[in-house]
């Protein structure tokens, strides 16, 4: 059982097969093996949520999941939000409401927000705050991010 | 940060996991959700030779409620438990499950991992003390059932034998007139609590018929505060008795200084959280719906 292990993952609808070292982290698989660098590594200690992706529909910190644990799973990253050149309503709302400054936390923040709106399409302000409790932003003070998610929730397709 | 290299084994049955763990010996660790284990490996606090992944063993994540009580499978995630009918029926379960760390950790972290890690900061063991929980384990000698009291022997150390796994936890459904609350105070959502307090009690005729008080992040193991319980057991709860119970809880604890606060600060938190949890438990025992979860600033 030592050595590399064959895994298959589906990321944003596309299937990839790779041979990976058991210690390879999911975020490293995504960034370095699949070249999807939209997912960021922030703290690398399971605090900041910059690396948040959806794994079988649930948000996870991809720095705290082994790539081998994701074998057979369906993953969604920030690259999957835009469809045919059209931004996701959350991406548009972040742009319109200045929900980012440096942008480092944004991919993880967006994926947490996607999960929130998919499970709770009309969240209250408190529910939005709780929805992004696992994502740190060091620029905006969160207000504009909350405004952006709130605005996106007003649009019917945001949960889709 | 990469963990040190290790071999990876995916177990498909409990029996196979036990065999793999025994084959490898001392260097083996059990991987379930990985939310405690993987940060430790990345920081190189631990360098196992082999991981045995039990995360996909079927049938270990059920939540069952029957005449004999409640049984939760070891692989049930915090999110699954928090969203279950059980959490609706027993408010202290919802307090805990929906407040552990953050949304992302709750997707992956399991109740079995929380119990088996032996970490005195983990939320579930504290809560499970207040429900007189039994821990069901399976090893090479078959199954055995252990009491939550004494299950964690010391920091990160449980009574589990080599090759032995936690498969489920069980407890009786709280009787009519029961109420409970789990109050945890932490620096931010993803952090472990600086201190937590769980209280489960039963009222009859305005008097305390039974009570359990347990503390987390308050010493080298989860702590059952027997003396604090004795201060409140029998009779009505008065501010004076509650004050003495809080003092007794502080006396039962032996917190230490760490990045989550000084020992003195944690003692103050215990003295605050125990009466707070008792107050919520009493309101719930009286039929009131009270929202409660981890607090952070």
Could you tell me the pLDDT band of residue A141, with boundaries at 50, 70 and 90?
Answer: confident
Which of A155-159, B136-140, B142-146, B239-243 has the weakest average pLDDT?
A155-159
Q: Does the structure show a pLDDT above 90 at A2?
A: no
Q: Determine the pLDDT at residue A103.
A: 96
| Candidates A128, A133, A149, partner chain B, best to mutate (most B CBs within 10 A) | A133
Residues in CB range of B226: below 8 A, 6 or more apart = B252
Contact B10 A115 (CB under 8 A): no
Contact B6 A59 (CB under 8 A): no
DSSP string, chain B: -PPPP-EEEE-SSHHHHHHHHHHHGGGEEEESS-TTHHHHHHTTS---SEEEE-TT-TT-S-EEEETTEEEEETT-BHHHHHTSHHHHHSHHHHHHHTTSS-HHHHHH-BHHHHHHT--TT-HHHHHHHHTT-EEEEEETTEEEEEESTTTEEETTEESPPTT-EEEEEEEPPPPTTEEEEEEEEESSTTSPPSEEEEEEEEEETTEEEEEEEEEESSSSS-EE-HHHHHHHSSS---HHHHHHHHHHHHHH-----BTTB-HHHHHHHHHHHHHHHHHHHHHHHTT-------EE-
Q: Determine the pLDDT at residue B297.
A: 72
Q: Does the structure show a pLDDT above 60 at A159?
A: no
Tell me the per-residue pLDDT of B186-196, one tens digit each, with 9 for 90 and over. Answer: 999 999 999 99
Is B178-296 assigned to CATH 3.30.390.50? yes
Q: Distance from B29 to chain A by nearest Cα, in Å? A: 14
Domain ranges of chain A: 5-80, 89-159
Tell me the per-residue pLDDT of B164-204, one tens digit each, with 9 for 90 and over. Answer: 999 999 999 999 999 999 999 999 999 999 999 999 999 99
Could you tell me the pLDDT band of residue A97, with boundaries at 50, 70 and 90?
Answer: very high
Mean pLDDT for chain A? Answer: 95
- Report chain B residues whose CB lies below 8 A from the CB of A63: 42
DSSP state of A33: I
Tell me the per-residue pLDDT of B2-58, one tens digit each, with 9 for 90 and over. Answer: 999 999 999 999 999 999 999 999 999 999 999 999 999 999 999 999 999 999 999
Could you tell me the pLDDT band of residue B81, with boundaries at 50, 70 and 90?
Answer: very high
Q: Determine the pLDDT at residue B172.
A: 97
**What's the whole-number mean pLDDT along residues B79-108?**
97
Q: Determine the pLDDT at residue A155.
A: 81
Q: Determine the pLDDT at residue A160.
A: 47
**Residue B77 near residue B101, CB atoms below 8 Å:** no
| Interface A:B, Cβ pairs < 8 A | 89
User: Could you tell me the fold of the domain covering A5-80?
Assistant: Ubiquitin-like (UB roll) (3.10.20)
Contact A59 B103 (CB under 8 A): yes
Is B63-171 assigned to CATH 3.40.50.300? no
- Report chain B residues whose CB lies below 8 A from the CB of A64: 34-35, 38-39, 104-105, 108
Domain covering B7-53: architecture: 2-Layer Sandwich (3.30)
Q: Determine the pLDDT at residue B68.
A: 84
Tell me the per-residue pLDDT of A117-135, one tens digit each, with 9 for 90 and over. Answer: 999 999 999 999 999 999 9
Chain A, nearest residue to B56 by Cα: A69
**What's the whole-number mean pLDDT along residues B84-102?**
97
Residue among B55, B45, B52 nearest A72 (CA): B55
| Candidates A45, A61, A62, A110, partner chain B, best to mutate (most B CBs within 10 A) | A61
Complex ipTM value = 0.95
Q: For chain B, give the percent of residues with pLDDT over 70.
A: 100
Tell me the per-residue pLDDT of B99-155, one tens digit each, with 9 for 90 and over. Answer: 999 999 999 999 999 999 999 999 999 999 999 999 999 999 999 999 999 999 999
For the domain spanning A89-159, the CATH number is: 1.10.150.120
Tell me the per-residue pLDDT of A9-40, one tens digit each, with 9 for 90 and over. Answer: 999 999 999 999 999 999 999 999 999 999 99
A59 touches chain B (CB under 8 A): yes
């Amino acid at each position: 059982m030592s050595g590399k292990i064959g895994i298959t993952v589906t990321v944003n609808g596309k299937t990839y097969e790779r041979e990976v070292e058991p210690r390879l982290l999911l975020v490293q698989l995504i960034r370095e093996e699949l070249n999807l660098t939209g997912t960021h590594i922030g703290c690398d200690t399971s605090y900041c949520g910059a690396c948040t992706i959806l794994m079988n529909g649930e948000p996870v910190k991809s720095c705290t999941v082994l790539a081998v644990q994701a074998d057979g799973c369906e993953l969604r990253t920030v690259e999957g939000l835009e469809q045919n050149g059209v931004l996701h309503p959350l991406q548009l709302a972040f742009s319109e409401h200045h929900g980012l400054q440096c942008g480092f936390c944004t991919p993880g923040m967006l994926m947490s927000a996607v999960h929130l709106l998919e499970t709770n399409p009309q969240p209250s302000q408190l529910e939005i705050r709780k929805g992004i409790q696992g994502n740190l932003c060091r620029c905006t003070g969160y207000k504009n991010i909350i405004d952006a998610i709130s605005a996106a929730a007003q649009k019917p397709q945001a949960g889709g | 940060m990469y963990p040190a290299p290790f071999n990876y084994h995916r177990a498909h049955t409990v029996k196979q996991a036990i065999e793999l763990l025994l084959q490898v010996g001392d260097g083996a660790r059990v991987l379930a959700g990985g939310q405690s284990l993987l940060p430790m490996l990345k920081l190189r606090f631990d360098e196992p030779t082999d991981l045995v992944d039990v995360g996909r063993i079927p049938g270990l994540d059920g939540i069952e409620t029957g005449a004999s009580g409640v049984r939760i499978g070891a692989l049930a995630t915090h999110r699954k438990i928090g969203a279950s009918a059980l959490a609706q029926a027993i408010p202290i379960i919802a307090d805990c499950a929906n407040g552990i760390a953050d949304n992302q950790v709750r997707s992956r972290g399991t109740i079995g991992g929380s119990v088996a890690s032996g970490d005195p900061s983990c939320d579930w063991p504290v809560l499970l003390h207040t429900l007189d929980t039994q821990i069901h384990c399976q090893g090479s000698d078959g199954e055995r059932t252990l009491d939550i009291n004494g299950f964690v022997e010391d920091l990160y150390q449980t009574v589990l034998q080599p090759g032995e796994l936690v498969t489920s936890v069980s407890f009786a459904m709280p009787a009519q007139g029961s109420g409970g609350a789990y109050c945890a105070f932490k620096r931010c959502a993803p952090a472990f609590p600086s201190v937590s307090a769980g209280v489960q009690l039963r009222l009859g005729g305005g008097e305390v018929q039974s009570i359990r008080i347990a503390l987390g992040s308050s010493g080298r193991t989860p702590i059952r505060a027997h003396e604090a319980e004795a201060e409140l057991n029998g009779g009505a709860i008065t501010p004076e008795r509650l004050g003495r119970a809080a003092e007794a809880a502080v006396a039962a604890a032996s917190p230490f200084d760490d990045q989550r606060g000084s020992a003195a600060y944690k003692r103050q938190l215990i003295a605050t959280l125990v009466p707070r949890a008792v107050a919520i438990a009493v309101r719930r025992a009286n039929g009131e719906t009270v929202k409660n979860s981890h607090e952070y600033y």
